[in-house]
Structure 1
Amino acid sequence: MTEIVNKMRSGDYFVDPSFQRRLVWNEKQKVRLIETVLMEYPMPEIYLWEQAPDPQSGSQKFSIVDGQQRLSTLREFTSNEWPLKKAYLDEENAEKDFADCFWKDLDADTRSKFFQYSINARRIPSEVSDDDIRQMFARLNETDRSLNPQEMRNATLNGEFLAAANSLADTDEFLALQIFSLDNIRRMGDVEFASQLLGYERKGIANDTPKTMNELYNEFNDDYSEAEIDKANVSKSLKLVNEVFLDEEIEAFFATQNYVYTLHSLFDVCEEKPADQWRAGLLGFVQAYAGLPANDDDVKEDQKSLAEFRKGASSRTRSKSSRTQRLFGLKNWLAQNFPELIEDKDS
């Protein structure tokens, strides 16, 4: 344990973000791991990929292939980042001396026992290729279904489409949306949504299932020559989204992944208009939508576009049909009530 903690602090054990998942453990999971160590129960072995030694000093670094969450948790706890909250401990340990303690509060015997804990590490030779390491990481995590589809793509692919999606998710326009929870970001939900928007640029409105997203990644993995153009188009659209979100009522309604996708597709098919004009139209839509009767039988003729939008919002949200219903429900209502706003690019 002493060697592992020291190497984590020094960076000799490191995480390669090009295939590793983001940290996703919550506080309870972290406390339970430290409890496991203090109870001297075993934990699964970790996998370390040896890097080529420095030819001058002979020092060597190791990429963590499997065990990132556990090793990061050990480093965090011994750096006094959080305590062993009693509420997360087993009942038999809730009254022990280490309950509610930070690392610095543990007595010398407990810390000594902690450092004597043995963790089995399997070392993978540096000659093993990067592609093989990616496949190994994916296989290790696939068995317990701990990776979601986007994390699997991040683990197994290293191509141009993934790079573009990661780059888009880091832009100011994308980050300003603030439509992702911290856990969603950790699980790469932001990168997946960026992938959907880039997919729209290539394919138009489409079904975004795990299968179709994998096909999109495979198609543009090696050659995505339009990446910069697509990212610029999406960023321009998201800049306009953020500008219309200056109206709190509009933001409260549209600030979800599904509705941002709808706005992006709306701005794409219509002629460019200033943000203040879009705000006027979208605010009118939000207020009219609030007055839509709950029963479709009570919907009036001039509310049918609103009902179409609602139908698309209540069905499979990432399907082509529901996305199309949302787009044209919104677009048709705006065309009826703000005709100066809606001009098709092809008209």
Structure 2
Amino acid sequence: MVKESKLLPRPEFQRRLVWSRDDKNHFLDSVLRGYPFPEIYFADGDVNLETGEGTQLLVDGLQRVSTLIQYFDGDDNLKLTSAPTYRALNEDEKKAFLQYDVAVRDLGGISKEEIIEVFKRLNATKYSLLDIEINNAVYAGALKTFCEQIAEKDFFRAHNIFNASDYKRMGDLRYVLSLVGTMVQGYFNRDDAFENLLDRYNDEFPMHAEISGRLQNIFDFIEECGFDPKTRAWKKADLFTLLIELDQVLHIRNERLQPSKVLEELTSFYDGVDSSGVNQGSVSSIYYKAALQASNDKINRVRRGAIIGGILLELSESEIREKLRVEGLA
């Protein structure tokens, strides 16, 4: 069914693959031993009204089906440790593999909304769904596509911003969506604005070219600064703040900045942050706490932004402290 495109193993409501090599090996070992595994779920897809031929959607079971196909095809990306390759099986073992009974529950012609709800409930245990994965199930339009393209930029890969878990659980998409959303509407609380943003810009994202250009300018500016790989500028929360505040200064306020000066000031500040404690009253201590505790809450994003923005504008420590006090951020 997969090879004939009659079963779509990865429709848009599926998340990214999250199985590890050991997960796949354990699963294949169970299949080769003839042990059962939990049922997979199908639902009706599109039907060709002229020929009557239709497709099925794989609602749950993506990783099991994908692993079985990888195994049969001899995919080089499937690193086997506890199971022989399919080609190494004898004739009887190959027959047993191909005749293995897979339990399937067919949900029939239910709506996309019902499919997503089933998927959410089925996956509420070991790999519980994140908000971004749920929104990925609902929205597949302009803004999501744009953010996926930005997340693929060499800038993020060259500086190892995202780890393996981020890529598996759409952390890279969540990060860039937060970044773009903040550029569009200002700081917001954690992932609260995702659904609204994805819905508003599902059909069209008219700021595509503008935001893309602004981001590329910021990436280029940071590269020209030449931050040390070990500085906290490359930590996700700190980089997020730096990207947003550079955008504000360079593109909203239209101020001119010297990369060498920014590097000097921020390196000195980041060094102070790393040596400060949460109980001190200095600006670096306030920043440290805002980056350490609930770093994605709006109040702490605004707090970090006010401090980094102040440094970029060459405000003194006392001026930044006064700004924090006036805005209720101290």
With normalisation by structure 1, the TM-score equals: 0.75
Q: Is the 8 A contact 2:9 2:58 kept in 1?
A: yes
Out of 232, 239, 259, the residue aligned to residue 260 of structure 1 is: 239
For residues 192-247 of structure 1, the C-alpha deviation after alignment (integer angstroms, 9 at most, x for no partner) is 112212332454222215xxx2xx24434543499635544543342133211244
Report SS of the residue matched to 2:123.
helix
Change (3 A) 1:273 1:76: farther
> How far off is 1:59 after superposition?
4.1
Out of 189, 194, 204, the residue aligned to residue 186 of structure 2 is: 204
Q: Is the 8 A contact 2:139 2:199 kept in 1?
A: no
Cα RMSD (Å) of the superposition? Answer: 3.3
For residues 305-337 of structure 1, the C-alpha deviation after alignment (integer angstroms, 9 at most, x for no partner) is 434332322222112232223222223334347
> What number of residue pairs does the alignment pair up?
306
Determine the structure 1 residue equivalent to 2:319: none
Out of 186, 189, 195, the residue aligned to residue 168 of structure 2 is: 186
Report SS of the residue matched to 2:13.
coil
Q: Is the 8 A contact 2:6 2:54 kept in 1?
A: yes
Measure the CA separation in 1 of the matches of 2:230 and 2:274. Answer: 20
Out of 223, 243, 248, the residue aligned to residue 200 of structure 2 is: 223
> How far off is 1:134 after superposition?
2.1
State percent identity of aligned pairs: 25
Determine the structure 2 residue equivalent to 1:118: 101
Report SS of the residue matched to 1:122.
strand
In the TM superposition, 1:1-347 aligns within 5 A as 7-54=1-48, 58-81=52-75, 82-86=78-82, 99=83, 101-125=84-108, 127-142=109-124, 146-155=128-137, 157-158=138-139, 163-171=142-150, 174=153, 176-178=155-157, 179-209=161-191, 213=192, 216-220=193-197, 222-224=199-201, 228-243=205-220, 244-250=222-228, 252-253=230-231, 254-270=233-249, 271-273=253-255, 277-290=258-271, 294-295=275-276, 304-336=282-314
Report SS of the residue matched to 1:245.
helix
Measure the CA separation in 1 of the matches of 2:230 and 2:207. Answer: 27
> How far off is 1:248 after superposition?
4.1
Measure the CA separation in 2 of the matches of 1:183 and 1:229. Answer: 31
Gaps of 5+ in 1: 1-6, 87-98, 339-347
Report SS of the residue matched to 2:259.
helix
Report SS of the residue matched to 2:54.
coil
Q: Is the 8 A contact 1:305 1:333 kept in 2?
A: no
Measure the CA separation in 2 of the matches of 1:235 and 1:208. Answer: 22
Q: Is the 8 A contact 1:9 1:75 kept in 2?
A: no
Gaps of 5+ in 2: 317-330
Measure the CA separation in 2 of the matches of 1:328 and 1:289. Answer: 15
For residues 126-152 of structure 1, the C-alpha deviation after alignment (integer angstroms, 9 at most, x for no partner) is x43222222222222235553222112
Output the amino acid matched with 1:286. T
For residues 275-317 of structure 1, the C-alpha deviation after alignment (integer angstroms, 9 at most, x for no partner) is 7x13531343214532568355998x9xx44343323222221
For residues 237-286 of structure 1, the C-alpha deviation after alignment (integer angstroms, 9 at most, x for no partner) is 421332112444255532333123212321243233567x1353134321
Determine the structure 2 residue equivalent to 1:93: none
Measure the CA separation in 2 of the matches of 1:137 and 1:184. Answer: 21
For residues 95-135 of structure 1, the C-alpha deviation after alignment (integer angstroms, 9 at most, x for no partner) is xxxx4x2222222222221112100112233x432222222
Measure the CA separation in 2 of the matches of 1:42 and 1:195. Answer: 40
Change (3 A) 1:239 1:256: farther
Measure the CA separation in 2 of the matches of 1:78 and 1:165. Answer: 33
Q: Is the 8 A contact 1:8 1:71 kept in 2?
A: no
> How far off is 1:29 after superposition?
0.6
Q: Is the 8 A contact 1:250 1:283 kept in 2?
A: no
Change (3 A) 1:111 1:246: farther
Measure the CA separation in 1 of the matches of 2:224 and 2:51. Answer: 56
Change (3 A) 1:188 1:48: same
